[in-house]
Amino acid sequence: MNNYELLELAKEASKNAYCIYSNFPVGACVFYSSGNYYKGCNIENSSYGLSLCAERNAISTAISSGEKGQLLKIAIYSPKSKNCFPCGACRQWLQEFEEGQNIEIILENENSECSIYKINDILPYSFKLV
């Protein structure tokens, strides 16, 4: 799956966001080495700490669906913000499943084109149990 297709799926997912508090919809789509992809959107709660980001939703959907492949890419999109980077918690989640692949993070830039970042570049000092 190419990066533009993955970003389009993230855009689709953002339409399902439950964001009645922030009014900031986000969609994500993860792509695995198995060839499978999974979408997620943000789901808010009046107790903000219980909210679920689109990125973690997509990864959770993959895992709960039985995905065993390696996470290779994630596209993240919000109609409210170009270059919608993952929050710190989601960066740590992505790093958890990095497995030496240096996951690609695909965002829509100001020109409506794909910008690609690597997880190790946006979270160079992640927490790891040794």
Confidence of residue 129 (pLDDT cuts 50, 70, 90): confident
Stretch (H or E) spanning 3: helix 3-14
Tens of pLDDT, residue by residue over 57-87, are: 999 999 999 999 999 999 999 999 999 999 9
Tens of pLDDT, residue by residue over 16-67, are: 999 999 999 999 999 999 999 999 999 999 998 999 999 999 999 999 999 9
**Helix H segments across 53-123?**
54-64, 88-96, 119-122
Domains of the chain: 3-122 (3.40.140.10)
| Prediction pTM value | 0.96
Distance of CA 65 to the CA centre of its chain: 17
Residue 82, amino acid: K
| Enzyme catalytic residues | 55
